Amino acid sequence: MSTIAPTHMKSGRPPIIPKDFNSQQAETIRLFPLSNYTFGVKETQPEEDPSVLARLKRLEEHYEKFGMRRTCEGILVCHEKNHPHILMLQIANAFFKLPGDYLRPEDDEIGGFKARLDERLAPVGRIGEGEEAGDWEVGDCLAQWWRPNFETFAYPFCPPHVTRPKECKKMYFIHLPKAKVLSVPKNMKLLAVPLFELYDNVARYGPQLSAIPHLLSRYNFEYVNEDGEAVAQTPGAGEDIKMKILAGGDEEMKEGNGTH
């Protein structure tokens, strides 16, 4: 990848360039700007379970019929001011989650995962013209979380005494194209959350989502503008960045109130 001269550095003293430090490096990921994407809303998708206890009861019923539940979620990344942002759903102004869901028992892993992404984010009606069903580029599996029992606790490893975990959740990197139309159910919000907001923020986002910056640290990023021209690379420009509400939440999208 060609070196891009940073435009924000004003020091007259040139930096000392160390020897190459990219051995065994994962592929460099090209990120497109948030402004390249179009966001809309679609019909409400009510939550299946009215409470945590009901959700765990449904997990137990699933396990009795079909065995371990398989869940897939997508880490969708774009950039704003040359800093990675994660597209994330917010439910009831409190609960955050990644797009995706549990697979149906008969589903293949990737095909079923794409179908669940469509349910959450695929556009409908005129806004979706030209979009193909399941048109998602699923990349690396970045994490596996295991639920040993019918309870809320999940771990990034399978405990050694557990031979029959009740659920395995995988998190996949989703390569976003240069432009795409996305629609969120109107009872949810679609947010663009900067990595630094997630990092070490277990209190707000929980252990799984707050670990995403660690999961993405294996990659270098190349940031491109709306015309597809590379304008920066890791590290970013360090400008003032905030979370953005992109769509949904039964609210009108207005300029100047943090929405896009």
Cis check for the bond before 165: say yes or no (omega within 30 of 0): no
Which among 241, 239, 242, 244 is positioned nearest to 254, based on CA atoms? 244
- DSSP conformation class of 222: E
One-letter amino acid identity for 121?
L
Give the up-direction half-sphere exposure of residue 228: CA atoms within 13 A in the CB hemisphere: 3
pLDDT of residue 20: 84
* Residue ranges, the chain, pLDDT below 50: 1-2, 5, 126-129, 236-238, 252-260
Query: What pLDDT is attached to residue 88?
Result: 97
- Nearest-CA neighbor of 86 among 216, 187, 236, 247? 216
pLDDT at 3: 52
- Torsion angle (degrees, nearest 10) of CA 257, 189, 207, 243: -20
Pairing of strands 167-175, 69-80: parallel
Torsion of CA 32, 141, 207, 154, to 10 degrees: 150
Q: Residue ranges per domain, the chain?
A: 29-248
How far lies 118's CA from each of 61, 78, 249, in Å?
25, 18, 19
pLDDT for the residue numbered 10: 61
Domain 29-248 adopts which CATH fold?
Nucleoside Triphosphate Pyrophosphohydrolase (3.90.79)
The reported pLDDT for the residue numbered 240 is: 55
The pLDDT value recorded for residue 236 is 46
